[in-house]
Amino acid sequence: ATVPPMLWAGLVLSKKTRPQHARVQQEYGSLTGRLQENISGVRVVKAFAQEQSEERKYAQGAEALQARSLELARTQAIWNPLLIGLGGLGAIMVIVAGGYLVAWGLVTVGTVVAFQYYLNKLYGPARRIGFLLGQLARTQASARRIFEMLDVSPDVISRPGARPLEDVRGEVVFENVTFEFQKGVPVLSNISLTAKPGQVIALVGGTGSGKSALTGLIPRFYDATSGRVLVDGRDVRDVDLGSLRRHIAIVPQEAILFSRSLRENIAFGKPESDISLVQFAAERAQAHRYITRLPKGYQTSVGDRGVTLSGGQRQRASLARALLVEPSILILDDATSSVDMETEHLIEQALGEVMSGRTTFVIAHRLSSVKRADEVLVIDSGQIVERGRHEDLILKDGPYRRIYDVQMRDQEEFITANVRATDPVEVGGRVPVASEKMLDGASAVLPGQEVSR
């Protein structure tokens, strides 16, 4: 008689605790997310003296988690004893009824004992089912978050019947391409351009002008709203997505490294690569020298997102990773933004060899990175407002010339300030070595600028 109530209590417990488990999981996820942010951004927290503020916010999150957990515990404290008590109630009922029947001689003591034994065998599984129903509520709360991620389908996939892209020469064509993240708000408007195999195309423009969106259409991180993007005359939407991306390498503005060794990070695109190939790619990216100075060399673990390396070191490792796959199309998204002037000059020298024979798209804010480009495209508000070679554009009174003049002026002010800070009179009548390197880098970056020593 008590078995159905036990199953009912288990179902009620599951129904009540399911949303409570979900709230506990949500608070726990928020708390661990905040902790991870504070650990990865500890320098920012300390720089702005926000330690106490972040501690208070973390404490508030911990208190919210505690409150949700106590709410769940109270529910379990009520219903779990009920499940156990119902089993005990059944045993008491058997003893009372059995004693009465034995007293009247209707059954023997052995019959009552046997009935009690079999009843316990029945109560055990019934009680466990009740507890399992409660555990199921907890499992469902965790599984729901996992399934939500697994059920997300990618927006860009290979079309049925898509054919692989092989023997890529590297010609990239944009035909009247318009792209929108949000309907009615174009990021790119009517873009048309042709990059022949081996050409270097530089994209220049302000933040949010659409440079990264344009290059993101080539590996199909997203698809054009209208128009076509062609690689070797084939619409990128008609070729197998994996084969397309295997011919493209990207060096993002913010280098992303995994919590693995430098060798594994550089060989990420071709994990089977021999160490000699990894070292060769690192040499071309001007990364081999600093890697060999690390305690474990190429086996050095870089930590979460490469936290143990400087910004310039991460960027050079990212460049080496791109070079190792020998891409037909190379995309450099402001790849020298995180390095100093001297390192930038070294990387620029390496890129001269790397770009040879490859179609390369260079996104740059520093115009020193675009002077070797076969064509410079100035993008503003998603449109190409000016195009041509560097030498021709600086002679025109256009957007590119204005950007160039601003950077030239800033460069002159930077050099003047550093030269004054290292007065030759104070160092024996000559410019210190550090200043010589800076000036050499500046003259290499901005040819035609006369620097007085």
Contact 234, 286 (CB under 8 A): no
Residues 91 and 225 in one domain: no
When pLDDT is cut at 50, 70 and 90, the band that residue 441 belongs to is very low
Average pLDDT, integer, range 299-326: 84
Residue for token pair 């003259």: 443
Domain-embedded: residue 350: yes
Query: By mean pLDDT, which of 37-46, 123-132, 176-185, 416-425 is the weakest?
Result: 416-425
Q: How many CB atoms lie within 10 A of CB 194?
A: 13
Domain match, 373 and 241 both: yes
Distance (Å, rounded) from C-alpha 201 to C-alpha 223? 21
What is the structure's pLDDT at 435?
Answer: 37
Pair (424, 373) in one structural domain: no
**What share of the chain in percent tops pLDDT 90?**
18
Same-domain check for residues 236 and 375:
yes
| Number of domains the chain is built from | 3
Query: CA-CA distance, 323 to 234, in Å (whole number)?
Result: 24
Q: Residue 230 half-sphere exposure, CB side, CA atoms within 13 Å?
A: 16
Residue where one domain finishes, among candidates 359, 376, 394: 394
166 within a domain of the structure (yes/no): no
- The span from the CA of 444 to the CA of 345, in Å, is 7
Q: Which is more confident, 364 or 394?
A: 394
User: Tokens for 76?
Assistant: 């379990």
Q: Does residue 453 form part of some domain?
A: no
Q: 156 lies in a domain?
A: no
If phi > 0 it is left, if psi is from -120 to 50 it is alpha, else beta; for residue 105 that is left
What is the tens place of the pLDDT at every residue in 378-390?
998 889 999 999 9
Q: Looking at mean pLDDT, say which of 91-100, 132-141, 143-152, 353-362 comes out highest.
A: 353-362
| 164 located within any domain | no
Say yes or no: 37 and 178 in one domain: no
Whether residue 386 sits in one domain with residue 240:
yes
Q: Is the pLDDT of residue 440 over 50?
A: no
Q: Which secondary-structure segment (H or E) carries 424?
A: none
Query: Which two tokens mark 183?
Result: 């309907």
Residue position matching structure tokens 């892209």: 165
Lowest-confidence pick of 88-92, 387-391, 428-432, 433-437: 433-437
Angle between helices 275-284 and 341-355 (to 10 degrees): 120
Do 143 and 187 lie in a common domain?
no
More confident residue, 180 or 15: 180
Is 353 a residue whose pLDDT tops 80? no
Mean pLDDT of the region 291-306 = 87
pLDDT of residue 284: 84
Residue 272, domain CATH: 3.40.50.300
For the chain, the average pLDDT equals 78
Which amino acid, 170?
G
Alpha-carbon distance of 347 to 203, in angstroms, equals 18
Strand-pair category, 200-204 with 375-380: parallel
**Are 216 and 139 in a shared domain?**
no
Same domain for 229 and 131, yes or no, is no
pLDDT classification of 415: cutoffs 50, 70, 90? low
Q: How far is CA 210 from CA 104, 206, 217, 377, 446, in A?
A: 94, 9, 11, 12, 26
The two beta strands, 359-363 and 185-195, are: unpaired
Residues 357 and 286 both lie in one domain: yes
pLDDT at 19 over 70: yes
CA angle 18-19-23, nearest 5°?
Answer: 120
Task: Give the global pTM.
Answer: 0.67
Residue 389 sits in the same domain as residue 436: no
pLDDT at position 228 over 90? yes
How confident is the model over 187-226, as pLDDT tens digits?
A: 999 999 999 998 999 999 888 888 889 999 999 998 999 9
pLDDT computed for residue 357 by the predictor:
78
Q: What pLDDT was estimated at residue 93?
A: 73
Residue 76 placed within a domain: yes
Among positive and negative, which fits the CA dihedral 56, 57, 62, 68? positive
Q: How confident is the model at residue 231 (pLDDT cuts 50, 70, 90)?
A: very high
% of the chain with per-residue pLDDT over 70? 76
How sure is the predictor about 424, in pLDDT bands with cuts at 50, 70 and 90? very low
User: 133 and 18 in contact (C-beta within 8 Å)?
Assistant: no
Measure the N-to-C terminal CA separation of the chain; round to a whole number of Å.
Answer: 101
**Claim to verify: residue 358 and residue 335 sit in the same structural domain:** yes
Quick check: 426 pLDDT over 50? Answer: no
pLDDT category, 434, cuts 50, 70, 90?
A: very low
Tens digit of pLDDT for each residue in 48-60? 788 888 889 989 9
β-bridge mates for residue 179, sequence order: 188
Residues 6+ apart with CB under 8 A from 223: 155, 156, 217, 237
Residue 425 is predicted with a pLDDT of 45
Q: Which of 90-104, 166-180, 220-234, 428-442 has the lowest mean pLDDT?
A: 428-442
- What are the tokens at 120? 């316990």
Is there a domain that residue 450 lies in? Answer: no
**Does any domain span residue 165?**
no
Q: Domain residues for 261?
A: 172-394
SS3 6: helix
Closest CA to 263 of 284, 281, 250: 281
Comparing CA positions, the residue from 230, 221, 236 lying closest to residue 191 is 230
pLDDT reported for residue 376? 92
What are the CA-CA distances from residue 272 to residues 297, 316, 323, 354 (Å)? 19, 21, 15, 22
Using only C-alpha atoms, the chain has a radius of gyration, in whole angstroms, of 34
Mean pLDDT of 258-280: 90
Provide the residue type at 269 as one letter.
G
Q: Tokens in use for 187?
A: 């990021």
Report the range of poorest mean pLDDT among 15-19, 30-34, 246-250: 15-19
Whether 153 has a pLDDT exceeding 50, the answer reads yes
Q: What is the Cα–Cα distance from 298 to 304, expressed in whole angstroms?
A: 16
**Mean local confidence (pLDDT), 313-338:** 83
CA triple 161-164-166, angle to 5 deg: 155
CATH of the domain at 64: 1.20.1560.10
